Amino acid sequence: MRSIYFRKKQFVPFFLFEAVDIILSMKNKDRYFVELYIGNLLRKIKIDKLYFEGQTKYQKVFCFSNEYLGKTLFLDEAIQSAQIDEYVYHESLVHPALLIHPSPKEVLVIGGGEGATIREVLRHSSIQNVTMVDIDKELVEICQKYLPEWSDGAFADKRTDLIFADAGEFVGSTEKKFDLVISDLTEPVEKGSSVFLFTKEFYEKIEGILNHDGLFVLQAGSADPLYNQFFVSCAKTLEAVFSIVRPYWTFISSFGLPWGFVLASNKIDPIDIRQGQIADRLKHRRIQNLKFYHPGLHSALFALPLYLEKALKNAEVLTEDKPFIWEI
């Protein structure tokens, strides 16, 4: 799960957001979802069919379909996932890390309520178990009901263990070791549940539950020229814990933004693997019908533009005393 959380109230107050929503709906005799996109930029999305609108214990949930985006999930009024390109996000998050590992068997996913992350993990025939830990049971149930295409049966797979718990508490108490830990959490916002899950202290706990050749990968938010602070801060923080840290990115059209990920390890460098090795592992693990990731794309994902290279040099380490919090 992820959120575009760099919206600023001082640019477009909430009462204006509501007013615009009403005006657009009346004018067109249709209902639109109006997203406060970036700063003073609004984006309106026509609601062709509404599936769910409500509030869980942790967040607002809005699920509807749109002719262009397909089924779309919004949390706390920010887009999370859209049918048109969710595979771009999830294949980018999962496969670079799993394919550079020679034989991944045990995987932990923290967050990922829609189930698409574990769907991609389970494509690998070497996987014996994937443990998914998510704090919001209601959201997972909503996604299973209205977005079953995302999980595609992954929750029913006998290799899946689904645990509803706080990820910080789980990581701090589990005795299991993993070949890969995937962080698919929403970004840290004021009073949010994930604020301290992007800190040096938490990443040290992650390192402690990895096998000797284990890997950690996380979604790290926007990688655009103005709002890349969270992305580069995550990379800088991981450098204080792991010996090999490689940030990478791709463009997510439904987000309207380039999106960042970071891969970390103490043993395996993702840029060392050859295309032929990736192709062999895809074949050996019987992975077919990917829509985005392929051997030739792998190294390209890790090629960053100059503005991100510069931002990485000026990034700061995140700690529990000084975490990163997006203002909303």
- The predicted structure's pLDDT at residue 328: 52
DSSP assignment of 27-81 equals HHTS-EEEEEEETTEEEEEE-SEEEEEEE-SS-EEEEEEETTTEEEEEETTEEEE
- 158 and 304 within one domain: yes
Lateral strand order in the sheet of 178-184: 160-164, 129-134, 106-111, 178-184, 210-222, 257-265, 244-252
- 47 and 98 within one domain: no
Q: What is the pLDDT along the chain (328 residues), one digit of tens a residue?
A: 544 433 333 333 333 444 445 444 545 578 898 887 666 788 889 999 999 999 999 989 999 999 999 999 998 888 999 999 999 999 999 999 999 999 999 999 999 999 999 999 999 999 999 999 999 999 999 999 999 999 999 999 999 999 999 999 999 999 999 999 999 998 766 555 677 788 999 999 999 999 999 999 999 999 999 889 999 999 999 999 999 999 999 999 999 999 999 999 999 999 999 999 999 999 999 999 999 999 999 999 999 999 999 999 999 999 888 866 666 5
Distance of CA 80 to the CA centre of its chain: 9
- The predicted structure's pLDDT at residue 34: 87
- 309 and 164 within one domain: yes
Residues 6+ apart with CB under 8 A from 217: 93, 94, 96, 97, 180, 181, 182, 183, 261, 262, 263, 264
Specify whether the CB–CB gap between 112 and 120 falls below 8 A: no
Distance (Å, whole) CA 118 – CA 160: 8
The DSSP H or E segment spanning 23 is: helix 14-28
- 149 and 165 within one domain: yes
- Residue 196 in any domain: the answer is yes
- 147 and 283 within one domain: yes
Single out the residue in 59, 82, 105 at which a domain terminates: 82
Single out the residue in 82, 115, 132 at which a domain terminates: 82
- Residue 2 in any domain: the answer is no
- 292 and 150 within one domain: yes
- The predicted structure's pLDDT at residue 321: 81
Distance (Å, whole) CA 179 – CA 103: 8
- Residue 290 in any domain: the answer is yes
- Residue 226 in any domain: the answer is yes
Specify whether the CB–CB gap between 96 and 217 falls below 8 A: yes
- The predicted structure's pLDDT at residue 23: 42
- 133 and 61 within one domain: no
- 157 and 289 within one domain: yes
Distance (Å, whole) CA 326 – CA 307: 21
Distance (Å, whole) CA 106 – CA 54: 35
Distance (Å, whole) CA 308 – CA 290: 28
What's the length of the chain? 328
* DSSP helix/strand/coil, 285: coil
- Residue 1 in any domain: the answer is no
Residues taking part in catalysis: 184
- Residue 237 in any domain: the answer is yes
- 115 and 50 within one domain: no
- 122 and 267 within one domain: yes
Domain count, the chain: 2
Q: In which domain, by residue range, is 50 found?
A: 14-82
- 205 and 130 within one domain: yes
* DSSP helix/strand/coil, 305: coil
Where residue 298 sits, what CATH number does that domain have? 3.40.50.150
- Residue 110 in any domain: the answer is yes
- The predicted structure's pLDDT at residue 197: 86
Where residue 22 sits, what CATH number does that domain have? 2.30.140.10
- 156 and 175 within one domain: yes
Single out the residue in 82, 103, 127 at which a domain terminates: 82
- Residue 58 in any domain: the answer is yes
